[in-house]
């Protein structure tokens, strides 16, 4: 009997029987030893082969079960694997056999360019949207193709592409922007008319206005202004959420931005009995940023600070150069924010007091808009507050922002300048 050993571990045993007496000579023993060695190796190979083919089976089962299309090609763009979903997306009768060249059908699709692009510079994944018509339908479906190079050492071993059907998502986005243009036109236009005519009446151009009429009309005016702000907020929020907004970078002096906001809001602070103080030093370096959007952030923060500070309190704006960033702070002596809500207030539509008969007006979108804008400037926004003792909001903007950091400009979706000052 001979043990079958592999790297010091027993794998099995080899039994031999013979009726000769001097059965095991030294030579035979050596022969048997090497036989046992080869047998162990052969068994191990068989086991490894089985394990690999089990794994391959497992992988294929997973890939055929998932809803996304998967296409794997080797460095010469020969098919290594195509799952049933990918086969259907590319309108092929059956998946091509392993090692077959990429089917002619695929060479005419944009995915071919995507694969070639990766082959030429295999140093990162690439994403592309491609449109394909499934079998028996003349309707185009949109797929998002994410191609990832499989690099071993320095050599491109292959490319794995995942295709996800985003047709519904595209359709929803289209409906959302349609809805938005409806909102902007169908709601803004009558609002402008209301504001215009109320103004004309108030100016006395349609005859004398009694005291009580003036009072009511002024309320109409105030409420339409609120409505206008609400619509502007909703539009701005949707633009930012859909990623259709890009910054317009230009040299910006933060102190100038802050001063403009303070001037704009000083009257509403006064009528709320709150003193508004600007503590921004003059020597803040000029940075590249979108001044209009930064003004929007400061406006929202100061506006909140005034709103949530009872009469007699104060609101202080300041800025500081902190290395690669400029940090702006807006502190107030108001009602403060409970600790457990200090993260959540930056969520869309979130308000600490959101009851039906709540005390403070607003949509709960202001801080969400701020966060989007600040993050577009590669900065951070946060709050420090003790309930009952006021709150300080901080945000940072990166000093060395460049055009490449923020992607291409999309002028079609930028807000109209006329609403900029509001
Ligand atoms: N300075 C502040 N002091 C206290 N609470 C604040 C302050 N700023 C914001 N909040 C809280 O965060 C919520 C969200 O703010 P925001 O997104 O601007 O929405 P809105 O002002 O429309 O309510 C507010 O409803 C309020 O509960
Ligand atoms: Mg607000």
pLDDT of residue 232: 83
Q: Is the CB of 313 under 6 A from ligand 1?
A: no
pLDDT of residue 111: 87
206-220, 230-244, 359-373, 408-422: the lowest-pLDDT one = 408-422
Pick the CATH number of 250-406 from 3.30.565.10, 2.30.42.10, 3.20.20.100, 3.40.30.10: 3.30.565.10
Give, using CA atoms, the residue closest to atom 7 of ligand 1.
304
- Residues with CB under 5 Å of ion ligand 2 are 304, 362, 366
pLDDT of residue 357: 66
What DSSP designation does 130 have?
Answer: E
Res. 416: pLDDT tops 50: no
pLDDT of residue 329: 98
Q: Stretch 343-353: mean pLDDT, rounded? A: 88
Closest ligand by atom to 358 CA? 1
> From ligand 1's centre to the CA of 255, what distance in Å?
24
Q: Stretch 128-146: mean pLDDT, rounded? A: 78
132 pLDDT band (50/70/90 cuts)? Answer: confident
Distance CA 51, CA 134 (A): 37
Provide the CA 90 distance to its chain's centre, in angstroms.
Answer: 29
Res. 138: pLDDT tops 80: no
Q: Is the CB of 260 under 6 A from ligand 1?
A: no
**Residue 397: CB partners within 8 Å, gap ≥ 6?**
254, 287, 289, 294, 325, 326, 328, 374, 377, 378, 379
Q: Is the CB of 122 under 6 A from ligand 1?
A: no
What DSSP designation does 313 have?
Answer: -
Q: Stretch 377-385: mean pLDDT, rounded? A: 95
Atom of ligand 1 nearest to the CA of 367: 17
**Residue 68: CB partners within 8 Å, gap ≥ 6?**
85, 162, 163, 164, 165
Res. 305: pLDDT tops 90: yes
User: Position of tokens 């107030």?
Assistant: 332
Distance CA 111, CA 90 (A): 10
User: Position of tokens 């040299």?
Assistant: 251
CA 5 → CA 1, 2, 13, 51, 411, distances in Å?
Answer: 13, 9, 8, 20, 73
Q: Is the CB of 362 under 6 A from ligand 1?
A: yes
Q: Stretch 101-108: mean pLDDT, rounded? A: 84
Alpha helix positions (H), 24-109: 26-65, 84-89, 104-107
Q: Is the CB of 333 under 6 A from ligand 1?
A: no
pLDDT of residue 412: 32
User: Position of tokens 């949530």?
Assistant: 308
123 pLDDT band (50/70/90 cuts)? Answer: confident
- 34-90 pLDDT, tens digit each: 888 888 889 889 999 999 999 988 988 888 888 899 999 998 889 988 998 888 888
What DSSP designation does 102 have?
Answer: P
pLDDT of residue 422: 33
Give, using CA atoms, the residue closest to atom 13 of ligand 1.
351
> From ligand 2's centre to the CA of 325, what distance in Å?
24
What DSSP designation does 134 have?
Answer: P
Atom of ligand 1 nearest to the CA of 300: 18
Distance CA 42, CA 420 (A): 78
Give, using CA atoms, the residue closest to atom 4 of ligand 1.
336
> From ligand 2's centre to the CA of 366, what distance in Å?
4
Contact at 8 Å (CB) between 259 and 280? yes
Closest ligand by atom to 385 CA? 1
How big is the chain by its Cα radius of gyration, in Å? 35
pLDDT of residue 414: 34
pLDDT of residue 353: 82
205 pLDDT band (50/70/90 cuts)? Answer: very high
Provide the CA 303 distance to its chain's centre, in angstroms.
Answer: 27
177 pLDDT band (50/70/90 cuts)? Answer: confident
Q: Is the CB of 352 under 6 A from ligand 1?
A: yes
> From ligand 2's centre to the CA of 323, what distance in Å?
29
pLDDT of residue 403: 77
Pick the CATH number of 66-165 from 3.40.50.720, 3.30.450.20, 3.30.530.20, 2.40.37.20: 3.30.450.20
Count the alpha carbons within 13 Å of 9 in the hemisphere toward its beta carbon: 5
Atom of ligand 1 nearest to the CA of 393: 1
């Amino acid at each position: 009997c001979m043990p079958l050993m592999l790297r010091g571990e027993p794998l099995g045993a080899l039994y031999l029987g013979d009726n000769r007496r001097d059965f095991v000579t030294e030579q035979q023993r050596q022969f048997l030893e090497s036989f046992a060695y080869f047998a162990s190796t052969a068994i191990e190979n068989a086991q490894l082969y089985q394990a690999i083919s089990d794994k391959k089976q497992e992988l294929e089962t997973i890939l055929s079960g998932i809803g996304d299309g998967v296409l794997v090609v080797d460095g010469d763009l020969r098919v290594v694997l195509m799952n049933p979903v990918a086969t259907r997306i590319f309108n092929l009768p059956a998946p091509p056999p392993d090692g077959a060249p990429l089917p002619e059908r695929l060479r005419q699709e944009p995915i071919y360019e995507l694969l070639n692009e990766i082959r030429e510079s295999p140093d990162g994944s690439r994403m592309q949207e491609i449109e394909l018509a499934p079998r028996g339908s003349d309707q185009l479906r949109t797929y998002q193709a994410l191609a990832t190079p499989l690099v071993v050492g320095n050599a491109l071993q292959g490319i794995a592409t995942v295709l996800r059907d985003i047709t519904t998502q595209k359709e929803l986005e289209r409906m959302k922007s349609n809805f938005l243009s409806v909102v902007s036109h169908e709601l803004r236009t009558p609002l402008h008319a209301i504001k215009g005519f109320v103004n004309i009446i108030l100016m006395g151009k349609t005859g004398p206005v009694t005291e009580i009429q003036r009072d009511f009309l002024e309320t109409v005016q105030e409420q339409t202004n609120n409505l206008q702000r609400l619509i502007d907020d909703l539009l701005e929020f949707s633009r930012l959420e859909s990623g259709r907004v890009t910054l317009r970078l230009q040299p910006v002096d933060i102190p100038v931005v802050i001063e403009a906001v303070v001037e704009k809001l000083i009257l509403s602070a006064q009528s709320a009995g709150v003193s508004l103080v600007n503590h921004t030093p003059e020597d803040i370096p000029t940075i590249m940023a979108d001044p209009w959007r930064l003004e929007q952030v400061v406006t929202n923060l100061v506006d909140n600070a005034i709103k949530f500070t009872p009469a007699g309190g104060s609101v202080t704006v300041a800025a500081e150069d902190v290395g690669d960033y400029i940090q702006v702070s807006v502190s107030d002596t108001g009602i403060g924010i409970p600790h457990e809500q200090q993260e959540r207030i930056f969520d869309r539509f979130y308000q600490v007091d959101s009851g039906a008969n709540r005390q403070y007006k607003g949509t709960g979108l202001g801080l969400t808009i701020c966060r989007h804008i600040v993050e577009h400037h590669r900065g951070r926004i946060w709050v420090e507050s003790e309930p009952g003792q006021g709150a300080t909001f901080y945000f940072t903007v990166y000093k060395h922002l460049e055009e490449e950091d923020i992607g291409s400009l999309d002028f079609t979706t930028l807000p109209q300048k006329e609403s900029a000052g509001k």
